Structure 1
Amino acid sequence: MSRRLRRLRDEGVIIADVSVVDPARLGRALTMHVLVEMEREGTAVLDALIDKLTARPEVQAAWYVTGDTDLILYVVVPTMEAYEVFTREMLNDDARVRAFKTLISIREVLPFDPARRALVR
């Protein structure tokens, strides 16, 4: 590793080195964006739900957002049956969840590219 890269990592400019895996090659072919509306908000309630959801391997990323939706989950599963199991175990009977809506990706039009990320200052 070059001294410059080491310095940039030490300074927090470079925060990660990543490998992007093709989910379809791993047998995970269905991508969903799940919009979760919470029954009520509060730091402890929110944190507990986030901890529960993000502990699952199906949840690849998650965002706490403004508006009618409280959380957006990026979920990848091999089949619809697996997604049904996920929703039953994680969302359907959780008293913290008022409602959720699933958006199923038809195809990826702009793949995630860490190098393309906007620089925020």
Structure 2
Amino acid sequence: MTQTTAPRLDRTDRRILAALAADGRLSWRDLAAQVGLSLTPVMRRVRRLETEGFITGYAARFDERRLGAAFSVFVQVSLERQAEEALETFESRIAQAPEIMSCYLMSGDADYLLRVVAADLESYQAFMTGFLTRIPGVARIQSSFALKPVIDRTAPPLG
């Protein structure tokens, strides 16, 4: 097991990350004002944070319900075997499904945890029976329906 070292970020770097996590569309000037730097140093720091992989991209957040994805379902998937080939097959197949918003390889009872969005119960059932159950090697599927989001953060603790 490899151990990762904590990234070396100073207080200003963390303030930049927190400001961008709260609003990724901040102008350079507004960002500089929020973190107490002038324009050029803040631009330089953001570029460095991008180059070093601390910032991996920028994205808009959408209201899934307004876009027709009213149901958020957490799906535990267990495979018949945990051989590398079976894992690769499963992962390549689920990458093709736009309904799958996230997927994690897990320890514990299930091999994978997925977050799936669907318009309604019938749509989810069609997705599950028409797609998920047809992936070779799937042994068990357990679905849990989210009642409401409580916390949905965009960044980990930045200290």
Q: Flag whether TM exceeds 0.5 (same fold).
A: yes
Equivalent pair of 1:38/1:97 in contact (CA under 8 Å): yes
Match in the other structure for 1:65: 106
64-73 or 4-13: bigger deviation = 4-13
1:1-121 to 2 correspondences below 5 Å: 2-110=43-151, 112-115=152-155, 117-118=156-157
- 55 and 94 in structure 1: CA distance in 2 versus 1, 3 angstrom threshold: closer
The structure whose Rg is larger is 2
Q: Give the Cα–Cα distance (whole angstroms) in 2 for the partners of residues 113 and 66 of structure 1.
A: 23
**Structure 2 counterpart SS, 1:114:** coil
**Structure 2 counterpart SS, 1:60:** strand
Greater fraction strand: 1
List alignment gaps of at least 5 residues for structure 2. 1-27, 29-42
Q: Deviations over 1:53-106 (max 9, x none)?
A: 121010000000001100000001111111111111222243411111000001
Q: Give the Cα–Cα distance (whole angstroms) in 2 for the partners of residues 75 and 9 of structure 1.
A: 29
Give aligned pairs, total.
117
TM-score (norm 1): 0.88
Structure 1 stretches of 4+ moved >4 Å: none
Q: Give the Cα–Cα distance (whole angstroms) in 2 for the partners of residues 16 and 93 of structure 1.
A: 33
List alignment gaps of at least 5 residues for structure 1. none
Work out which structure has the larger RCO, using CA pairs closer than 8 Å and 6 or more positions apart in sequence.
1
Percent identity reads 29
Q: Provide the alpha-carbon RMSD of the alignment.
A: 1.4
